[in-house]
Amino acid sequence: MTARILDGKAIAAALRARLAERVAALPYSPGLRVVRVGEDPASGVYVRNKDKAAKAAGYDSATIHLPAETTEAELLATIATLNADPVVDGILVQLPLPPRIRTEAAIAAVDPAKDVDGFHPLNAGRLAAGQPGLVPCTPRGVMHILAEAGVVLRGARAVVLGRSQIVGRPMAQLLLGADCTVTIAHSRTRDLPGECRRADILVAAVGRPEMVRADWVAPGVVVIDVGINRLPDGRLVGDVAFGEVAAVAGAITPVPGGVGPMTIACLLQNTLEAAIARRGAA
Ligand SMILES: Nc1nc2c(c(=O)[nH]1)N[C@@H](CN(C=O)c1ccc(C(=O)N[C@@H](CCC(=O)O)C(=O)O)cc1)CN2
């Protein structure tokens, strides 16, 4: 068997085009502000790509780039200014932050109504309680790929590999909300390959290059690879050994070109929804 390739890049482009049409119909441009602290090079790429995608879709987008020496108090003051700015609908603090700054303090400082990352405890709690709120972009993007691919979720056995606040936990909540039977597997799980083999849908989000091998998956499984790992030779690989797993799976997302582009498209979707909730659509 050779798996169907789920083209996240194309799905993201189609979503961005639909969002651009909705933005064009608004009497204002949804405002997005991305805060970057320090010089992490990968963050530089992601922040530039977000700004470019947002501007191309008609958003009022800007990046606030703070020096690496910025203190936590200075970052929180910047966030407070953005919280109070009426033209700002969405605020995103790019991660990782320099170690001196507590990530949870920065996340908690964002107004939950402008929290387009969906990381604020209020939005995380809403998701866990099955209530509407802003949902983290990467898991939202995964759900969009699954929907576009026509994957039946009701009753499916979903295994989420990884338990991070950003991806693993919200991913599990979304799959549960779509009536999957969900297992969260992680570094302390006794038999990781065995748990993964039980999956109809496997979402890998562990940050370990090519950890999921062909003998970890059942024939026909839908594999979603959230990992983005840069190897010493410069190659970008996911958490899944793509070639060998694609020979067994029914469908699989590639890296690059799978979940990554959906993260940015869903950021635009969250920003539009946050803007409409604050300012209305007419
Ligand atoms: N505040 C946040 N910080 C981070 C998030 C997040 O959702 N919110 N996620 C990641 C980084 N990220 C967005 O911020 C991101 C990562 C990768 C991609 C992407 O499109 N990747 C491409 C490959 C790009 C490359 O060549 O490096 C792909 O997979 O095709 C988009 C967004 C951590 N921080």
From ligand 1's centre to the CA of 196, what distance in Å?
25
Task: From the CA of 256, give the closest atom in ligand 1.
Answer: 30
Query: Would the annotation count 36 as a binding residue?
Result: no
Report the CATH number of the 136-260 domain: 3.40.50.720
Q: Where are the beta strands (DSSP E) in 151-267?
A: 157-161, 181-185, 201-204, 222-225, 229-230, 236-237, 251-252
Regarding the beta carbon of 10 and ligand 1, being less than 6 Å apart is answered no
Query: In the chain, where does the domain assigned CATH 3.40.50.720 lie?
Result: 136-260
The verdict on the CB of residue 269 being under 6 Å from ligand 1 is no
Ligand 1 binding pocket includes 264 (Cβ within 6 Å) = yes
250 carries a ligand binding annotation: no
The reply to whether omega before 256 is within 30° of 0 (cis) is: yes
CATH 3.40.50.10860 domain span(s) along the chain: 29-112
Per CATH, the number for 29-112 is: 3.40.50.10860
CA–CA distance, 213 with 240 (Å, rounded to integer): 7
Alpha-helical runs (H) found in the chain: 8-24, 41-56, 72-84, 103-109, 121-128, 137-148, 168-177, 192-197, 242-246, 259-279
Please tell me what DSSP assigns to residue 3: P
- Could you tell which of 134, 167, 263 is best to mutate to test the pocket of ligand 1, judged by most ligand atoms within 8 Å of the CB? 263
Compute the distance from residue 260 Cα to the ligand 1 centre, in Å: 5
Tens digits of pLDDT across the chain (282 residues): 699 999 999 999 999 999 999 999 999 999 999 999 999 999 999 999 999 999 999 999 999 999 999 999 999 999 999 999 999 999 999 999 999 999 999 999 999 999 999 999 999 999 999 999 999 999 999 999 999 999 999 999 999 999 999 999 999 999 999 999 999 999 999 999 999 999 999 999 999 999 999 999 999 999 999 999 999 999 999 999 999 999 999 999 999 999 999 999 999 999 999 999 999 998
Q: Which amino acid is at 282?
A: A
The yes/no answer to whether this complex scores an ipTM above 0.85 is yes
* Helix and strand numbers, DSSP H then E, in the chain: 10, 11
With contact defined as beta carbons under 8 Å apart, do 160 and 153 qualify? no
Q: Does 44 sit in the ligand 1 pocket, CB within 6 Å? A: no
The answer to whether the predicted template modeling score (pTM) of the entire model surpasses 0.90 is yes
- 173 flagged as catalytic: no
Residue nearest (by alpha carbon) to ligand 1 atom 16: 260
